[in-house]
Amino acid sequence: MAGRTQAERSDETTGRLVRAARRLFGARGYAPTSIDAVAAAAGVTKGAAYHHFGGKVALFRAAFVRELEEVSAALERAAGAEQEPMAALRRGCRTFLEHCLDPGFRQIVLLDAPSVLSWETVRAIEHDHLLRVLHDGLRVAVAGGQAADGDLPVRARLVFGALCEGGMLLARSQDPAADLPRLAAEADRFLEALRR
């Protein structure tokens, strides 16, 4: 393990810590997961965690950001596969609902984040990732004349709120594969409301 640069050491350790944080915070939730447990799962001690992160909240925040980066990438990929703006929106919504089947994502992003981080913080981070994708999709639809004009940031936020609840419902279903289309149908109904 000798001969590595400081940046390499840091990246290695922070990477391991964030990965472990996502696993443990995602599996057991924020409160019952000790920072020692995360450090141990990462193969280091608490000292390393407190050196690289300000505290437990900062470590959680890093895991949260990582979750959002992943889902945003998946959304952009899915929406990019459609040409029609409204079809892209529907596809993106469906992809988000599917992503909610991941228990870690639900626990970190949908359940714990608003409580652990302030709502302002969550909103800001979500805006930079998830909401930006949704907002862009809406803007394209409006520009193309396929959706009615209005307060797009607010509209994106409302759609997002509905999708989060839908994701939790889907995850709770005993047969998600069967319920996804039904849920997507109700969600599409709301998207249809935006047609001019």
Between 169 and 188, how does the x/- string for binding to a second copy read (CB under 8 A)? x--x---------xx-xxx-
Q: What's the min distance (Å) between Cβ of 110 and DNA?
A: 21
Site for DNA in 83-102 (CB under 7 A): none
In angstroms, the CA 17 to CA 69 distance is 17
The residues near 50 (Cβ < 8 Å, ≥ 6 apart) are: 35
Q: Which of 105, 102, 150, 157 is nearest to 135 (CA)?
A: 157
Between 49 and 88, how does the x/- string for binding to DNA read (CB under 7 A)? -xxx--xxx-------------------------------
Q: What's the min distance (Å) between Cβ of 100 and a second copy?
A: 12
Q: Which of 166, 168, 152 is nearest to 93 (CA)?
A: 166
The residues near 108 (Cβ < 8 Å, ≥ 6 apart) are: 22, 25, 26, 30, 60, 63, 64, 67
Site for DNA in 16-45 (CB under 7 A): 32-36, 39, 44-45
* SS3 call for 165: helix
Of 9-17, 39-47, 60-68, 116-124, the segment contacting a second copy by CB under 8 A is 116-124
- Residues interacting with a second copy, by CB under 8 A? 29-31, 110-112, 114-116, 119-120, 123, 148, 150-151, 154-155, 157-166, 168-169, 172, 182-183, 185-187, 189-190, 192-194
